[in-house]
Amino acid sequence: MFTEGLTVSIIPHSEGSSISFTIPRAVLFLLVFFLLGYMAFSTFSYREYLARYQDSKKVVAHLDGVRVENEKLRQELVSLFRETEELQQDLIVLQQQGRKIQDLLSEDLQENEEQAAHVSSLGNILSYQPVEFEIGGLGGVDTRLLRDDAFSLAKSMQQELRKMREVIPAQREGMETLEESVREYNEMVAATPNIWPLADNGNSYISSGFGSRRDPFTGRQAFHEGVDIAVWYGTPVLATAEGVVTYAGWRTGYGYTVDIDHGYGFKTRYAHNGEVLVSVGQEVKRGDVIAKSGNSGRSTGPHLHYEVHVNGVPKNPLEFINNK
């Protein structure tokens, strides 16, 4: 079969001669071999294409998943950064409170300075600065690194935020309590009658002390509820602490008198004045001039009778005066 080759004849339907030609056997086998080879190559190439196509689809799906995951991480980091900024603002407020308390206490601040320093040390909790997290091109970048970095950063921030959430509320409460205590202490100090009640330039002296003494008019023993300070007429009489005037005028036995309620149980009395310069209900500060000294009432000479009462009990005024 096909020993001489393959003869092909072309016979037209219309009138005319037929055409015949012979394909040599070698050429015929060559054509068949080429056709079979081409079919085998095409089949192999198609299968390879299908495999690559499926791999490409998997890669695209994976990259799409990575993009979605990284976007979620980016949004989470943005949220964490915002929380961090809010907590940092709380920290700034606490530091301001610490400085405020230091200002309230002008002297002997060792314990309170330690408290303020402790608040300031909270500023070291965050050891990083917020940065913008973006997902760039994927060429040559291992997306696992992006995710690992993002997870690591998110975890680190969550740890820092937990620390701040644990510390700041308690610290804020402690600072508020301390500030209130300092304010109350300062108010009590301001209410304590602790200065010399006369602007006399040292030209005065105590003529009669506190406690039991002989009454200068009856000669009998009597309890003296204050101190008498001998001073010349018209010397300025000073409020020894801030407070509110509760009495200003003539009082039997005491002459022209000023009484001041300082709060915290402290009250003072200034008697035998020559002139009263304040009125009832008036608020005064430590060192304000409230009267001029004199010799009014039951008195044997120009002087100031000065009393200090604590919770209704008369106390020796000299125990409260810092320096004359």
User: DSSP letters of 258-303?
Assistant: EEEEEETTEEEEEEEEEEE---TT-EE-TT-EEEEEB--SS-SSSE
- The answer to whether 268 and 193 are in contact (CB under 8 A) is yes
**What confidence score (pLDDT) does residue 243 get?**
95
- The answer to whether 289 and 238 are in contact (CB under 8 A) is yes
Instruction: Give the mean pLDDT of 208-231.
Output: 87
* pLDDT, the chain, mean: 77
CB count within 10 Å of CB 177 equals 10
- Burial pattern 205-244, b for ≥16 Cβ within 10 A else e, equals eeebebeeeeeeeeeeeeebbbbbbbbeeebbbbbbbbbe
Instruction: Give the mean pLDDT of 219-246.
Output: 93
Q: What CATH architecture applies to the domain 205-319?
A: Distorted Sandwich (2.70)
Distance CA 31, CA 24 (A): 11
SS3 for 7?
A: strand
- pLDDT surpasses 70 at 49: yes
Q: Would strands 211-214 and 255-263 be described as parallel, antiparallel, or unpaired?
A: unpaired
pTM greater than 0.85 (yes/no): no
The residue with tokens 């080759």 is 5
Q: Would strands 226-230 and 236-238 be described as parallel, antiparallel, or unpaired?
A: unpaired
Distance CA 33, CA 266 (A): 123
**What confidence score (pLDDT) does residue 5 get?**
65
The C-alpha angle with vertex 287 and arms to 259 and 262, in degrees rounded to 5, equals: 40
Instruction: Give the mean pLDDT of 183-206.
Output: 89
- The answer to whether 295 and 272 are in contact (CB under 8 A) is yes
Radius of gyration of the chain (CA): 51
Residue 73: both structure tokens together: 């991480």
Distance CA 272, CA 207 (A): 14
- pLDDT surpasses 90 at 260: yes
> What distances in angstroms separate CA 117 from CA 85, 98, 106, 162, 181, one per listed residue?
21, 8, 16, 21, 18
The HSE-up count of residue 113 (CA atoms within 13 Å, CB side) is 5
Ranges 46-50, 189-193, 219-223, 250-254, most confident: 250-254
Structure confidence at residue 207 as a pLDDT band (50, 70, 90): very high
Q: Could you report the per-residue pLDDT of 165-174, keeping only the tens digit for each?
A: 777 777 777 7
Q: Would strands 205-208 and 6-10 be described as parallel, antiparallel, or unpaired?
A: unpaired
- Indicate the domain borders of the chain: 6-66, 72-191, 205-319
> What distances in angstroms separate CA 129 from CA 88, 91, 94, 151, 157, one per listed residue?
11, 15, 20, 17, 11
288 backbone dihedrals φ, ψ, rounded to 5°: -65, 140
The amino acid at residue 42 is S
Q: Could you report the per-residue pLDDT of 96-143, keeping only the tens digit for each?
A: 777 777 676 654 444 444 444 444 444 443 333 443 434 344 344 444
The H or E element spanning position 308 is strand 303-310
